[in-house]
């Protein structure tokens, strides 16, 4: 497939770009920064929140799908979060409608449901329950994906990613870890599965202590192979472990993340 990968210079972007290329896909990279040294791909340097610039890319590139990974990976104020996650998604979906590109794979986040108390396995029928403005931006992006699937028949898959790292580093990550290889498997399944409509999957590895249900992903062909449990002996005990296990969003649900929605000049 010929796919546009946004955020292609980022940590997930570099892994996904390489992984999809290795699996025979043709990748077009897009990021706010130029291609990292040694990258040999068609590349566009622009901000996805710039709808005109995004439209220009689609006018010049034949594409079959979009993998939207761009976005600030942490908490910001509401305006920053909506711009980084929701407006970028809107600009891409509008261009997709215009140019008949009908597959959209999104790096959403567990923080879209992060304020869900940690009890039973959380599945794809969980109601939106963000833990931060970051999570609100992801929820709003997912709502747009549902809208564009319903209105225009674009297939949109929201991957609610857990903790993407080369290996798990905390007790929480024993449940939330997504390995590099599983991340590539996840994106490829979301890109190539048959007619998902709007679908949600949880982007974690096959972790023994998983907090999120892997079945919605398996239905789309995502078969994770790694397990954080293999690293259990390397995980240190930390005083914050208990508090981070109260809600599935872990640290993002803690009081230290509470802030006003909008900054004031007096801040």
Q: Is 88 a binder of ligand 15L (CB under 6 A)?
A: no
Distance CA 115, CA 111 (A): 7
Q: How far apart are the first and last CA of the chain?
A: 48
Q: Is 128 a binder of ligand 15L (CB under 6 A)?
A: no
Is the CB of 109 or the CB of 156 nearer to ligand 15L? 109
Distance CA 141, CA 123 (A): 19
CB of 39 to ligand 15L, least distance (A): 23
Two tokens, residue 110: 């567990």
Has 134 been annotated as catalytic?
Answer: yes
Query: Contact region for ligand 15L (CB under 6 A) — 42-50, 96-104, 159-167, 193-201?
Result: 159-167
Distance CA 4, CA 232 (A): 36
Is the CB of 89 or the CB of 110 nearer to ligand 15L? 110
Q: Which residues of 166-189 are buried (b: 16+ CB within 10 A; e: fewer)?
A: eebbbbbbbbbbbbbebbbbbbbb
Spot the catalytic one: 134, 148, 198, 247: 134
Residues that bind ligand 15L (rule: CB under 6 A) add up to a total of 10
The interface with ligand 15L within residues 171-200 (CB under 6 A) comprises 176
Q: Is 44 a binder of ligand 15L (CB under 6 A)?
A: no
Q: Which of 44, 103, 111, 129 binds ligand 15L (CB under 6 A)?
A: 111
Residues 6 or more apart from 121 whose CB is under 8 A from it? 210, 211, 212, 213
Is the CB of 17 or the CB of 132 nearer to ligand 15L? 132
Between β-strands 2-6 and 65-68, what pairing exists: parallel, antiparallel or unpaired?
Answer: parallel
Catalytic residues: 134
Footprint of ligand 15L (CB under 6 A): 73-74, 109-111, 161-163, 176, 250
């Amino acid at each position: 497939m010929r796919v546009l990968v946004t955020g292609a210079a980022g940590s997930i972007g570099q892994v996904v770009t390489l992984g999809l290329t290795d699996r025979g896909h043709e990748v077009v990279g897009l990021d706010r920064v130029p291609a990292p040294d040694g990258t040999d791909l068609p590349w566009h340097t622009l901000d996805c929140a710039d709808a005109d610039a995004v439209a220009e890319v689609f006018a010049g590139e034949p594409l079959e799908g979009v993998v939207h990974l761009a976005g600030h990976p942490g908490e910001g104020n509401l305006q920053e979060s909506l711009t980084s996650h929701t407006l970028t998604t809107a600009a891409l979906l509008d261009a997709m409608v215009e140019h008949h590109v009908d597959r959209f794979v999104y790096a959403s986040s567990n923080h879209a449901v992060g304020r869900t108390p940690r009890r039973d396995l959380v599945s794809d029928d969980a109601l939106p329950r963000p833990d931060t403005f970051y999570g609100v931006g992801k929820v709003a992006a997912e709502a747009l994906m549902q809208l564009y699937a319903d209105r225009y028949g674009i297939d949109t898959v929201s991957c609610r990613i857990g903790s993407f790292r080369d290996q798990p580093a905390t007790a929480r990550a024993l449940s939330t870890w997504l390995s590099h290889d599983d991340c590539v498997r996840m994106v490829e399944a979301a890109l190539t599965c048959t007619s998902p409509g709007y679908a949600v999957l949880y982007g974690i590895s096959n972790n023994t202590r998983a907090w999120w249900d892997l079945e919605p992903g398996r239905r789309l062909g995502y078969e994770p192979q790694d397990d954080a449990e293999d690293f259990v002996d390397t995980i240190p005990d930390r005083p914050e472990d208990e508090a981070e296990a109260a809600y599935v969003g872990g640290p993002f649900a803690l009081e230290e993340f509470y802030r006003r929605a909008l900054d004031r000049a007096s801040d």
